[in-house]
Structure 1
Amino acid sequence: MPATILIGTQWGDEGKGKVTDWLANDMDMVVRYQGGHNAGHTVIAEGHKLKLHLLPSGILRPHVVSVIASGLVIDPQALIMELDLLKDIGIGEPNLVVSTNAHLIMPYHRALDQASEVKLGKSKIGTTGLGIGPAYTDKASRVGLRMQDLMDMKIFREKLEVALNFKNQVLTKIYDVDPLDIDQIMDEYLLHAERLKNLIGDTSRVINEALDGGKNVLFEGAQGMMLDLDHGTYPFVTSSSPIAGGACVGAGVSPMRINRIIGIVKAYTTRVGAGPFPTEQENDTGETMRSVGGEYGTTTGRPRRCGWFDGVIAKYAARINGLTGIALTKLDVLSGFETIKICVGYEHEGKLYEQMPCHQSIFHKCTPVYEEVEGWNTDISGADSYDKLPKAAQDYIVRLEEMTGVPIEMISVGPSRMQTILR
């Protein structure tokens, strides 16, 4: 199927990197369509463990064209660091195109992000402080700088002067932070422009021409749908749209071109940062999941909050995104549990909610309703087919399928490419 969207269905960190890398073998193009370097994914391939933040996972496949599309905000320094990382492990100049319309993260975006979180105190959102939110704010306010502005540094400076005049007033008068120097920024971004200028192009045209030619294209988002600006747990969300519909907007393609939408579902649930999390286990269970699953943020190293699988969220993700299939990840992490719990609903003030509550106060205060199933209590990391999984593990998979109404097509039982089962 020529056009496939791959999305995270929880709060991110579901294992998109591995699944994207697996699928990329059959793809001609992999497109990253939203977000910034505040999200990351880990790919293990050819003896290397790579932590990528901006580059699409397909970057490791020589035959794949990698695309950073218009829906992203890009810190040029972060992108260059990732390109240098590829060189360090012996990967030559990648086949990469970066959208002219992608917005730039500027030094004042980082300063504003960090100062704002300090100012908010206990009410802080829990951002990474990398400038993602302020960059998207400028994009919506129509005062942002874009990748194409790096192609004409005269225009770049004119736009920067206007933006910096206002930003420095905010930094100094509201946040009591030192102002930024325009000449220092110009010197830095002039170097970035020289390094990146040959990669900048019309990505919407490149993508649509690939689809016109019958090429297989994979659209990859960052974060997860519960961090979506419109449909996530607002205000504890990201600043863009990770859902399937966001792929069309961020990449510049018609919804009519999409053939398949695969949701990445972790066999349990995790979350980084602040915000509601009904199935969170702040106990030995959560600590075991964190320890065995290596649940620490790829970008920040922050420990992830861990909890049981949330079927309400899974059904919500299936509905919002129109999932055609599921890739179930980290099933092996649950191997040490005698029994496993599945959240099948929420209870709030005597009322049962089997679908996602539309009022955030209910979601914040609800109590999960659990169904308990038998664990398999044996190592499954070496299973190479569905039939070799213990019956209890198979039963767990079938139960998740029943809850979501979506077939589970792929099962991950470990971090490497080979530890993947296709059904």
Structure 2
Amino acid sequence: MAGMVVHGAQWGDEGKGKIVDLLTERADLIVRFHGGNNAGHTLVVDGEKTVLHLIPSGILHAGKRCVIGAGVVLDPGVFLAEADKLTAKGVDMSPARLAVSYRTHVIMPYHNLLDSAREAAKAGSKIGTTGRGIGPCYEDKASRIGIRAGDFLDEALLERKVAAALPEKNALLAGLYGLEPLELSKVMEAVLPLARRVAPHVQDVPAMIQECLAQGKGVLFEGAQGTHLDIDHGTYPFVTSSSCLAGNAAAGSGASVRDLGEVISVVKAYTTRVGSGPFPTELSCADGEHLQSVGAEFGATTGRKRRCGWQDMPVLREAVRLNGTTSLAVTKLDVLGGLKELKICVAYRFQGGELLYPPQQEGALAHVEPVYETLPGWSEDVSACRSMAELPQAARNYLRRMEELSGAPVGIVSVGPGREQTIFPG
């Protein structure tokens, strides 16, 4: 049985958490394969909201196992705080239900300090990082000086590796950013209590995935952020530090590419972006205010106000071709209700021509002109609809046009944050 990948098709915040939560019914193992606690997945179950940053969204389903793969960077403090909150709600957070790969890299105190110091020093050229140490941790991974979760099982080894990393970190913190250097003893004092609590969760994640697939059980690979924040294929340099594409579900978890089957690309019925970077369809008018206020567009991780705009088909087409999308999960269709007209960007004008996909040159997306198609809106509240037939004709036409322009069928439609506020067109 092949695995199922759920990932974001835009700039993140598409509503992946709810989709993963829904599809967990079809899986026995849920795998987070990249990113860190710079991502936030919001779940609403029986009216109660839960925001997760590291722990896979499937954790709210009793009997399901959740794992964090090698492609993730793990902040142990955030991980344990989330686990404690869920435990307080009666959720089983034992190592039998929640595992961390031996090879998952760990965010250390100096990573957070470096991230914040760098962003503060950039003044008017900020990337929009969350300051949570994600980038510096991935840098250490690439430099082969990183701390991994498996190191938590050998405290002497952990201390030696931290001691080897500190001279360079202190040179940057003190020499470049004017901060106090870190002492090895203080770092270990902060890290060891966390390491001891995380250690029981450290397990052989690739073996767990293979065993599950060999038994014919379902594996769901949970992505974070979105396609256009991908370190290679996103709007560089306004990107995250990991690969957000569906194909990275294999490398980031320890599965084989042959284990990846269905690819569900989650896309909002409109477009949002948090932080800096080009955004061709961004709105600064009443329609944009409608999307922001009705959609409650604030980042689940940072609380930052999201920038809002019309649906962008070149962005979505690029996501479909990069990820091999088998179906779309369209979220927040209900937010469009009340708008008389809806616009879809169908192409870009750029350098005297027309493009169906984003230009590949760095920074070029900031210089495209959207080509819009206008569709009629609807006034009805669709949040109670549970079938395509119950949707207003204009809403059905809008979804059909998304299918035609993107080249991918719509397999899920979300009309509200609750689990039950979902339509399965098929």
Structure-2-length-normalised TM-score: 0.98
Whichever residue aligns with residue 7 of structure 1, its letter is H
Residue number in structure 1 paired with 2:241 = 239
Whichever residue aligns with residue 265 of structure 2, its letter is G
Residue number in structure 2 paired with 1:54 = 54
Shift of 1:90: 2.0
The runs of at least 4 consecutive aligned structure 1 residues that moved more than 3 Å come to: none
**Residues 285 and 47 from structure 1, CA distance in 2 versus in 1: closer, same or farther, beyond 3 angstroms?**
closer
The separation in 2 between residues aligned to 1:367 and 1:298, in whole angstroms, is 30
Please give the secondary structure, in 2, of the residue aligned with 1:31.
strand
Give CA deviations for 1:224-265 in whole Å, capped at 9, x if unaligned.
000000000000000000101111110111111112101001
For 1:159-308, list aligned pairs within 5 A: 159-308=161-310
Shift of 1:283: 2.1
Shift of 1:49: 0.8
Q: Residue 104 of structure 2 is aligned with which of 81, 102, 105?
A: 102
Shift of 1:92: 2.8
The separation in 2 between residues aligned to 1:287 and 1:46, in whole angstroms, is 29
Please give the secondary structure, in 1, of the residue aligned with 2:198.
helix
Shift of 1:362: 2.8
Please give the secondary structure, in 1, of the residue aligned with 2:343.
strand
The separation in 2 between residues aligned to 1:210 and 1:19, in whole angstroms, is 21
The separation in 1 between residues aligned to 2:318 and 2:143, in whole angstroms, is 31
Shift of 1:350: 2.7
Give CA deviations for 1:317-348 in whole Å, capped at 9, x if unaligned.
10000000110000000001000000001112
Please give the secondary structure, in 2, of the residue aligned with 1:418.
coil
Give CA deviations for 1:2-21 in whole Å, capped at 9, x if unaligned.
41001100000000000000
For 1:24-423, list aligned pairs within 5 A: 24-94=24-94, 95-423=97-425
Please give the secondary structure, in 2, of the residue aligned with 1:109.
helix
Query: Are the counterparts in 1 of residues 213 and 219 from structure 2 also a CA contact under 8 Å?
Result: yes
Query: Are the counterparts in 1 of residues 329 and 413 from structure 2 also a CA contact under 8 Å?
Result: yes
Shift of 1:301: 0.1
Shift of 1:275: 0.3
The separation in 2 between residues aligned to 1:2 and 1:217, in whole angstroms, is 8
Residue number in structure 1 paired with 2:10 = 10
Give CA deviations for 1:64-96 in whole Å, capped at 9, x if unaligned.
110101100001000000001102222233411
The separation in 2 between residues aligned to 1:47 and 1:257, in whole angstroms, is 35
Give the count of matched residue pairs. Answer: 423
The separation in 1 between residues aligned to 2:77 and 2:363, in whole angstroms, is 40
The separation in 1 between residues aligned to 2:150 and 2:164, in whole angstroms, is 17
Whichever residue aligns with residue 68 of structure 2, its letter is I
Moved more, 107-116 or 361-370: 361-370
The separation in 2 between residues aligned to 1:157 and 1:150, in whole angstroms, is 10
Whichever residue aligns with residue 198 of structure 2, its letter is L
Shift of 1:166: 1.4
Shift of 1:60: 0.5
The separation in 1 between residues aligned to 2:320 and 2:134, in whole angstroms, is 27
Please give the secondary structure, in 2, of the residue aligned with 1:259.
strand
Over the aligned positions, Cα root-mean-square deviation in angstroms equals: 1.0
**Residues 47 and 88 from structure 1, CA distance in 2 versus in 1: closer, same or farther, beyond 3 angstroms?**
farther
Structure-1-length-normalised TM-score: 0.98
Whichever residue aligns with residue 33 of structure 1, its letter is F
Give CA deviations for 1:32-78 in whole Å, capped at 9, x if unaligned.
00000011010111442100000000000112110101100001000
Please give the secondary structure, in 2, of the residue aligned with 1:240.
coil
- Unaligned residue ranges in structure 1 (runs of 5+): none
Please give the secondary structure, in 1, of the residue aligned with 2:232.
coil
The separation in 2 between residues aligned to 1:74 and 1:58, in whole angstroms, is 18
Please give the secondary structure, in 2, of the residue aligned with 1:344.
strand
Give CA deviations for 1:329-376 in whole Å, capped at 9, x if unaligned.
000000010000000011124321122211234311111110000001
Give CA deviations for 1:384-423 in whole Å, capped at 9, x if unaligned.
1110000000000000000111110100000000000001
Please give the secondary structure, in 1, of the residue aligned with 2:247.
helix
